[in-house]
Homo-oligomer: A and B are copies of this chain.
Amino acid sequence: MLAARSEVQVDNDEVRVTEWRLAPGSATGHHTHGMDYVIVPVVAGEMTIVAPNGERSRAQLAAGKSYFRKAGVQHDVLNETSTEIVFLEIELKP
């Protein structure tokens, strides 16, 4: 698996904003979210999500349609499509 690419856009006492780019065939690798976060898809796409128990699910991304998740989420995120996935992760510092 290729590695997803990330670039920090904002990082201060309150928030960290990271742009994630997943080329076709790439993955973030398994990780645990240490902070509550908001995801903002920049382009439409489909993510494959793999839970720690190996269970797989698909999630549709629409450009500009955000969602919120609490800290503690554990998963791997894969791009099994033929188009790049781009989203911003906005982590809310406690």
A residues within 8 Å of B by Cβ?
9-10, 12, 14-15, 17, 19, 36, 38, 40, 42, 63-68, 86, 88, 90, 92
Across-interface contacts of A65 in B (CB, < 8 A):
9
Q: How far is the CA of A52 from the CA of B48 in the complex (A)?
A: 47
CB < 8 Å neighbour of A63 from B12, B15, B42, B92: B42
Dominant SS among interface residues on chain A: strand
| Contact yes or no, A64 B86, CB < 8 A | yes
CB < 8 Å neighbour of A38 from B15, B36, B64, B68: B15
Shortest CB distance A8–B (Å): 10
Shortest CB distance A90–B (Å): 6
